[in-house]
Structure 1
Amino acid sequence: MGADREGGARRRPARAVAYLACGVVLLAGCASMPDHGDLRGVESTPRQDAQVRVFAVPPSDDALPPQIVQGFLEALTSDDPNYETAQQYLTEAADDAWHAQRSITVLANAPNIEVDWATNKENSDTFSFLLTGKKVATVDAQQSYSPASGEYSQQILLKREKKNGQWRIDRLPQGVVLGQSDFQRNYMSVNKYYLANNAQTDTSAQLAAVADPVYVRQRVDPTTQVVRSLLNGPTRWLDLGVRSSFPSGTRLKKGATDLTPDESNKLTVPLNEKAARVGLAKCNEMAAQLLYTLQDLTPTVDEIELRAGGAELCTLDADGATAVATRGPERSPEFLYFLDGDHRAVRIRSGSKTAGAEPVPGPLGEGAKAFRSVAVSRDERSAAGVGLDGTELYVARMEPGAPLGEPVLRSAGKTEDDRLTTPSWDGRGDLWIADRDPAAPRLLLLQEGKGEPLEVGTPGLEGRVKSVRVAADGVRIALVVEKDGAQSLLVGRIDLDEKVGERSGVTVRELRNAAPELEEVTTMSWSGDGRLVVVGRAKGGVLQMRYAQVDGSTPKGPAPDALTGVKEIAASEDERLPLVAYSDDGIVRLPSGEQWQTVVKEGSAPVYPG
């Protein structure tokens, strides 16, 4: 570089552009070390110990433009808390304009560094590159993940500073850009929890906690990050369906950092004056939101103490949080239900290893009517069944001697595949079902499983609903939707269009793809309160079973063990219960840490309550 600047910093031989381009050839493709490339500046691999910190390296003296871009991109993948090292690669003006927290762009591989031949000129004190790649996802300023596709191409412009002759980045895209493997190493998904807006009008009914997934940097004080994110409020996707009990403007007390539970796993959270006057009931709701949010982090949090104005507001443990709001089902399902070889509804104890199924009490288990699918209310007192040809929906109490009655819904579809789906109960005791009749496809709601069906609005929905599963919180709904021969797994937000507590107007909005890589989805079920288990096929691939996050990201951890000939899958939002499936081997179950086991050879349509 000293020879290049002979006679003044702004004089360069005409071969400089070509020389810089050669540097790009050496460095392009290795901007993020774990993805590809032979040069290794920062070791980063998805299998790295989660406790190993990766630190960035500041720019070296007289570094060439390719080395500046390379070093900057590596710094974005480090564990530098506030990106101070990355900022050293920027001019003062660029540093003032750049906001790392504004967004994250995730690419399939590390960003490629390409010379921007269209703008570079010989004997210039500026040099530009293009960062390119294939988009996988974006994470917005609220830390909310969204799948993305298409090509990524953004210019990054460097400038030789007059005062010292050093190259620095002068113009760059906002936010952070990195490869998928670095994203998976650096970030983790955490469910924040808010309270459902569609609470029962009965004041004795329990509140439902609703999961709102966000991504945080997993080795940069994640506890404090998550608490700040919770206090900032729900993401835009969930905002209209939930509320926060924290008073508007509540933040951590000034100077509060590195929140860490004590030796008894109690976390003390100091808040600003906005929270100083809350009552005990409201404070307990706030603490429950925090406790549910932090329980999956390490170290574990078992108790929350909230403080503001120099005084303790309240203290809440796990039992207290459960009394305030439910996370997932209000109670663990007592039974697993399915249809036996005679198409009667039968049940076994949840988690039971025995095959001794008994008919459910009431008309669905008596055998007078054959069914193709059933759904059991979450209190396990009522059941809904679709007749064998898919035309009629029946609802009855699960009590000895209860009548079957007349169908509460009929479909006019001409074939079995064009009629009623398997129904699904929400936490309020209302029943959801779709009519697949091509002449009049509808998503329907029956309040308490009876009365005139209410047609649910689905703005933006393209295609026909093939399957319906409502989350226990009653705020989110999962749909398998068919369009042009492909089936997608979509998750939407349930909005009550009238005042809270009434369902005279209901709309499912903001549908988003929870498994964007699958073009065929055959069956799905909620499995926990923030994810689903899904059976489907990617383009050109084979049928597979996997988990999917509600935001479209892939959860960490192994997929369920492979199973041949899966036709239907059942899971519970109580994650302690085993997966259950209907396959070529009949009804089978997958206990945690074990292999698939046969429950009964003759059976179909397994479901947990819901």
Structure 2
Amino acid sequence: MPDSGEVQQVKASNPGDSQVRVYAVAPRENADPEEIVDGFLEAMTSDDPGFATARKYLTKHAAQAWKPEESITVLATAPDREQADRKADPGDEGRAYPISGRKIATVDARHAYQPISPADYLRSIRVVQQPSANGKDKEWRIDSLPPGLVLGEADFLRNYRSVNTYYFASGKDWVVADPVYIRQRQDPVTRMDPVTQTIKALLEGPTNWLKQAVDSRFPSGTQLRSGVTTLTPDDQSTLKVPLNDQADQVGPDICRRMAAQVLFTLRDLTSVRVEQVELLGTRDRSLCRLGKGQAEEEFAAVRGTPRPENPYFVHEGKLMTVSVSGKEPEAPSEVPGPFGKGTTPLGSVAVDRGETRAAGVRANGAELLVSSITSDMGPPRSVLTSKGHNPRERLSAPSWDGSGDLWVADRDPAAPRLWMVPNGSGEPVEVRTPWLSDGARVESLRVSADGVRIALLVSREGRTTLQIGRIERQTAGAEPAVSVVDLQPAAPRMETVTAVSWAGPSRLVVVGKEAGGVQQVRYLQTDGSTSAGSVLPGLNGVTTVAAPHTDQAPVVADSGDDGIVRLASGMNWQPVVKAGVSPVYPG
């Protein structure tokens, strides 16, 4: 037994382990109705081609009507099968078995995950007797069942994985991540391997939620060539993608953007290394080639020469920065310009992605200022003020998007608003927020690098929830019109959310707690889904969290009495600066 060292909680097994395989078993002769229902529920969790074994539990009509690829209902645990009520209809020879659980999400036919606040799920599976194969006896079979697949969360995560498909922001030349779910292994229905499934999902177009703000460069009707079920890079790490004749007429510029969508989409598939994509038309004619490095330089939302990502923070009203990537954090330093001198005491800050300007909210929350952080060129410029009665009812911490626009929320209960400042220096534009009513207000916000999505902490009736909104921009005459619409819950199982930060193209770091639980720091996808290992080591009293755009730098947080701390890969939280608040990475 060890006699020193800290105690750490570990899990004996991973319920979502993708290495576990379930093999469906056909119904045995003269199986009773309970066995039929239980066997079918188990067969739904398998990789059986075409779900052929699962269909053996169904009547002929039900087997033909059942479409497992059309939807997935995700329950917190595997569905519970209850006893049939034989007294429900004495004249009915069939038996209905209630299937229950706690529904937490759905996945639609476009592979989009949609979380919900946990709710009771109750459906039924009805079994009837039909003639057996020999025509002399009768066998129990299912003739009525819920649509699609019904899986517990552990089985869902074992069989499916999240990948980002990529499309171009409307009217822009950079890509936006759109997460979808594909099978971990060969798809039972299409027989496609994960690479082919992923490209097929990309060609099907963006999910319903995102399609209003993005465009695909693939011509309408473009599909993989008929019969393609496997795609493998060659020994030069080049993936050749054969397309149907809809792609034959595209020009070289459009083709490069099509190839870029494929390259970005395949980045999450760690099982395959693709350095270059070649798109093929009919008769295997090469349409274009594009390398991964070229795609990053030309079409990424965050471009430029890679450089170390270092956080910024506020100390005694001054804007400071510190290097946190080494074994030991370096001493913090003041940034150049007015914000680093402390002549304008700051309460919260945001640094643009080019790291040339910063936006700061005064310590009293009443005024938003913008200043250079590369030189002492004049005093900060005031761009917005709030009339709230106290700091908590005034301006939130600001945030920059990738195109240089600045965002901030006014938390004044008398007039809660969301503002966008074009290029950080133009006339503030009030963002259209039809959902901001009935006592709701935005407590804090973070805009994605692509400028298409915004993470919002929205308070209403004493509860603060995490919502993801879609940013839509129109030009109405000479005035820009900006809206945040179609809010989607990103952490419905959390009772309250304290802080959020983007952690890449479609991932968030979220601080919050579930009902009756303790505060957690965890990763979430923008669609609200989680994965194994998403919960970070425990940390108390977190008020602010910040994550880098890549995985090359640690997550940092303001943990109250402990000051600013960091979480490097494979480590526990470590102190960085004792006296400091509001850490942020550029964005």
Residue 127 of structure 2: aligned partner: 158
Q: What TM-score comes out, normalization by structure 1 length? A: 0.87
Aligned residue type for 1:403 = G
Verify: 1:230 aligned to 2:202, yes or no: yes
Aligned residue type for 1:447 = P
Verify: 1:287 aligned to 2:259, yes or no: yes
Separation in structure 2 between the aligned mates of residue 92 and residue 345 of structure 1, nearest angstrom: 70
Residue 494 of structure 2: aligned partner: 518
Verify: 1:507 aligned to 2:483, yes or no: yes
Q: Please, which of 56, 60, 68 is the counterpart of residue 88 of structure 1?
A: 56
Tell me, yes or no, if the aligned pair for 1:382 and 1:396 is still in contact at 8 Å. yes
Query: 1:274 and 1:406, CA in 2 relative to 1: closer, same or farther beyond 3 A?
Result: closer
Verify: 1:409 aligned to 2:384, yes or no: yes
Separation in structure 2 between the aligned mates of residue 362 and residue 118 of structure 1, nearest angstrom: 79
Residue 388 of structure 1: aligned partner: 363
**Alpha-carbon shift at residue 593 of structure 1 (Å):** 2.2
Aligned residue type for 1:596 = W
Separation in structure 2 between the aligned mates of residue 550 and residue 96 of structure 1, nearest angstrom: 35
Residue 456 of structure 2: aligned partner: 479
Equivalent residue of 2:397, what SS?
coil
Percent of aligned pairs with the same residue?
47
Residue 252 of structure 1: aligned partner: 224
1:525-577 deviation per Cα after TM superposition (whole angstroms, max 9, x unaligned): 10121111111122222122111111111133242222333221111222222
Residue 434 of structure 1: aligned partner: 409
**Alpha-carbon shift at residue 114 of structure 1 (Å):** 2.5
**Alpha-carbon shift at residue 384 of structure 1 (Å):** 0.8
Verify: 1:342 aligned to 2:316, yes or no: yes
Residue 539 of structure 2: aligned partner: 563
**Alpha-carbon shift at residue 351 of structure 1 (Å):** 2.6
Moved over 6 A (4+): none
Aligned residue type for 1:225 = Q
Q: Please, which of 357, 362, 385 is the counterpart of residue 337 of structure 2?
A: 362
Verify: 1:218 aligned to 2:221, yes or no: no
Structural mapping, 1:188-337, within 5 Å: 188-199=161-172, 207-220=173-186, 221-297=193-269, 298-310=271-283, 311-328=285-302, 332=306, 334=308, 336-337=310-311
* Stretch moving more, 582-591 or 236-245: 582-591
Structural mapping, 1:113-152, within 5 Å: 113-117=81-85, 121=89, 125-148=93-116, 149-152=118-121
Q: Please, which of 137, 140, 161 is the counterpart of residue 167 of structure 1?
A: 140
Verify: 1:186 aligned to 2:159, yes or no: yes
Tell me, yes or no, if the aligned pair for 1:424 and 1:468 is still in contact at 8 Å. yes
Equivalent residue of 2:82, what SS?
strand
1:148-167 deviation per Cα after TM superposition (whole angstroms, max 9, x unaligned): 33221222222222463222
Aligned residue type for 1:209 = V
Equivalent residue of 2:206, what SS?
coil
Separation in structure 2 between the aligned mates of residue 367 and residue 289 of structure 1, nearest angstrom: 45
Separation in structure 2 between the aligned mates of residue 343 and residue 464 of structure 1, nearest angstrom: 26
Equivalent residue of 1:472, what SS?
coil
Separation in structure 2 between the aligned mates of residue 303 and residue 503 of structure 1, nearest angstrom: 42
**Alpha-carbon shift at residue 308 of structure 1 (Å):** 1.3
Tell me, yes or no, if the aligned pair for 2:524 and 2:534 is still in contact at 8 Å. no
**Alpha-carbon shift at residue 377 of structure 1 (Å):** 1.0
Verify: 1:452 aligned to 2:427, yes or no: yes
Aligned residue type for 2:119 = G
- Show structure 2 runs of 5+ residues with no match: 1-12, 187-192
Residue 534 of structure 1: aligned partner: 510
Separation in structure 2 between the aligned mates of residue 570 and residue 49 of structure 1, nearest angstrom: 29
Separation in structure 1 between the aligned mates of residue 452 and residue 476 of structure 2, nearest angstrom: 15
Q: Whose radius of gyration is greater, 1 or 2?
A: 1
* Stretch moving more, 472-481 or 124-133: 124-133
- Show structure 1 runs of 5+ residues with no match: 1-44, 200-206
Separation in structure 1 between the aligned mates of residue 409 and residue 71 of structure 2, nearest angstrom: 37
Equivalent residue of 1:68, what SS?
helix
Query: 1:337 and 1:365, CA in 2 relative to 1: closer, same or farther beyond 3 A?
Result: farther
Separation in structure 1 between the aligned mates of residue 198 and residue 209 of structure 2, nearest angstrom: 18
Verify: 1:602 aligned to 2:579, yes or no: yes
* Stretch moving more, 153-162 or 310-319: 153-162
Separation in structure 1 between the aligned mates of residue 152 and residue 241 of structure 2, nearest angstrom: 35
**Alpha-carbon shift at residue 331 of structure 1 (Å):** 5.6
Separation in structure 2 between the aligned mates of residue 457 and residue 364 of structure 1, nearest angstrom: 31
1:210-264 deviation per Cα after TM superposition (whole angstroms, max 9, x unaligned): 1111111112222221111111000001101111111100111011012222344
